[in-house]
Structure 1
Amino acid sequence: MKNALITGATKGIGRAIAIALAKEGLNLAICSRNIKDLTETQQHLQQLNPDIKVIAVEADVTKKPDLLKFAQTAVHELGEITVLVNNVGTFVPTSILDDEEETFDFQMNTNVRPMYELYRFFGKRLQNIGEGHVFNICSVAALNPSVNAGTYSVTKAATLCLSNIMRLEMQQYGVKVTSVIPGSTFTSSWEGTQLDKNLFVQPEDIAAAVLTIYQMSAGANVDEIIVKPLSGQL
């Protein structure tokens, strides 16, 4: 049985991916700062598939010690992780000139640092195993930056660049790396919107794409996939 680690798995895209992988029969490691959300998600995943093991670790992934504790606990409890989903992220809708003093550090520490640190932790392990799949949840803001989300766009461009570097470093070892690039997706970032939910990409759409890519043959890798609303960005 394969083991997967997912950051940001209690809400939105991360939760949808966790559900898809649970149904697929993967053991899961998830974390959150919110113990209530974490416990509820763990129980839900376990109910979906009683045959898998789901470990939940209370952790703030913006803090390196917490992040490494999460990774180490996952390996200790499940064994080697061969599916890594770097999903955690945050969106602050301001221009760079209107950013609060801590906005840059907060978004970098949430959107980029966990992805970097987990790659550093698991990269050589995956090379030694000679298989695995890393999914990096990026954003169309990496391709089409928005002045109304300036720092967010910068951090998402960094995640896409990092994902491309991962792929180049890992491909000779048989480890796949896929950049998942969603457009406007109906997650908690859109709470309170008056727009029709059906105009958005749904988290389950992203999860379905991830699962389909994961199920491909050993010799196939999807470098990147872009999923946008049919009627255009919102």
Structure 2
Amino acid sequence: MNKTVLITGASSGIGLEFSKIFARKGYNLVLVSQNKENLEKAKSIISMENSKVQIVTIAQNLATPSAPKVIFDYTKQNSINIDILVNNAGIQVYGNFCDVDIEDTINLMYINMFAMTKLTRLYVDGMIKRGEGKILNIASTGAFQPCPLNSAYCASKAFVLHLSEGIGEELKGTGVTVTTLCPGATRTNFAKRANIEGIKIFKGKLLDASRVAEIGYKALMKGKSVVITGFSNKLVAESVRFIPRSIVTKLGMNMMKE
């Protein structure tokens, strides 16, 4: 019987590319996203090339506190065991913290942090009982340093990284692994939706979403703890620890300016 993967933020970008990879590998899919129409389009695209794969779509806004439990209850009621959980959903809020609508920042925290945490907690028990399972949490190279004009986003991704590393160590010996994927700026519609296409960090050479997903998939299958996409991204992330914090924030401000 095919194993099943649940992917949040699955209707576009890196999430859609993950969906395609897992479908090609023969996994059944539970695809979660806020937009039902986009989910159905994603399902249609994947089904055309992978007719034997079963695909379930769940339209939920992860900024809603009850959404993770709604998703979990649906899979439980329909006897769908989740073998792999991919917490990919995330949003960006750009600008000075004091200028951004506080509700936008709170929504970011719910989607990037709270939903990921709750879904992980809800599904990990079943994985432990079965003695196997994999969790992939999507952080960012922004998780390695504070970044002005992007403060809440980078802080939320630092939370993802640190939580994932911590529980990954706790789960050793259970058969369950936790992998954190830390992409740099990637060629998707993410920047357009966040209205940050004009900032410096998106002006360089970017990896395609398909390549980022491929790197993440391979790391997940190998049970790696943390993977950073791209050599230059690795270099920046690793070098931050050797630079005075006051300089790190200045460099971050420069990178995030238009």
Q: Partner letter of residue 26 of structure 1? A: Y
Q: Among 206, 222, 225, which residue is 1:223 paired with?
A: 225
Question: In structure 2, what is the Cα distance between the partners aligned to 1:97 and 1:107?
Answer: 15
User: 1:144–1:46: structure 2 CA closer, same or farther, 3 Å change rule?
Assistant: same
Q: Partner letter of residue 225 of structure 2? A: D
Cα distance, 1:29 vs. partner?
0.3
Q: Partner letter of residue 219 of structure 2? A: I
Q: Partner letter of residue 226 of structure 1? A: I
Question: In structure 1, what is the Cα distance between the partners aligned to 2:179 and 2:155?
Answer: 20
Cα distance, 1:98 vs. partner?
2.6
Confirm whether residue 213 of structure 1 aligns to residue 214 of structure 2. Answer: no
Cα distance, 1:170 vs. partner?
1.6
User: 1:69–1:188: structure 2 CA closer, same or farther, 3 Å change rule?
Assistant: same
Does the Cα contact within 8 Å between 2:136 and 2:220 map onto a contact in 1?
Answer: no
Does the Cα contact within 8 Å between 1:135 and 1:179 map onto a contact in 2?
Answer: yes
Does the Cα contact within 8 Å between 2:36 and 2:59 map onto a contact in 1?
Answer: yes
Question: In structure 2, what is the Cα distance between the partners aligned to 1:207 and 1:77?
Answer: 28
- Could you tell me which residue of structure 2 aligns to residue 158 of structure 1? 159
Q: Partner letter of residue 213 of structure 1? A: A
Give the RMSD, CA atoms, in angstroms: 2.2
User: 1:229–1:41: structure 2 CA closer, same or farther, 3 Å change rule?
Assistant: farther
Q: Which runs of 4+ in 1 moved over 6 A?
A: 194-198, 231-234
Does the Cα contact within 8 Å between 1:183 and 1:229 map onto a contact in 2?
Answer: no
Deviations 1:79-103 (A, max 9, x none): 2111000000001111323332223
Confirm whether residue 48 of structure 1 aligns to residue 54 of structure 2. Answer: no
Does the Cα contact within 8 Å between 2:13 and 2:190 map onto a contact in 1?
Answer: no
- Could you tell me which residue of structure 2 aligns to residue 85 of structure 1? 86
- Could you tell me which residue of structure 2 aligns to residue 128 of structure 1? 129
Confirm whether residue 181 of structure 1 aligns to residue 187 of structure 2. Answer: no
Does the Cα contact within 8 Å between 2:65 and 2:110 map onto a contact in 1?
Answer: no
Question: In structure 2, what is the Cα distance between the partners aligned to 1:197 and 1:52?
Answer: 38
Secondary structure of the corresponding residue to residue 18 of structure 1: helix
Does the Cα contact within 8 Å between 1:200 and 1:229 map onto a contact in 2?
Answer: no
Cα distance, 1:3 vs. partner?
0.5
Q: Partner letter of residue 225 of structure 1? A: V
Cα distance, 1:70 vs. partner?
1.7
- Could you tell me which residue of structure 2 aligns to residue 22 of structure 1? 23
- Could you tell me which residue of structure 2 aligns to residue 60 of structure 1? 61
In structure 1, runs of 5+ residues without a counterpart are none
User: 1:146–1:229: structure 2 CA closer, same or farther, 3 Å change rule?
Assistant: farther
Paired positions, count: 230
Question: In structure 1, what is the Cα distance between the partners aligned to 2:96 and 2:182?
Answer: 22
TM-score (norm: length of structure 2): 0.82
TM-score (norm: length of structure 1): 0.90
- Could you tell me which residue of structure 2 aligns to residue 200 of structure 1? 206
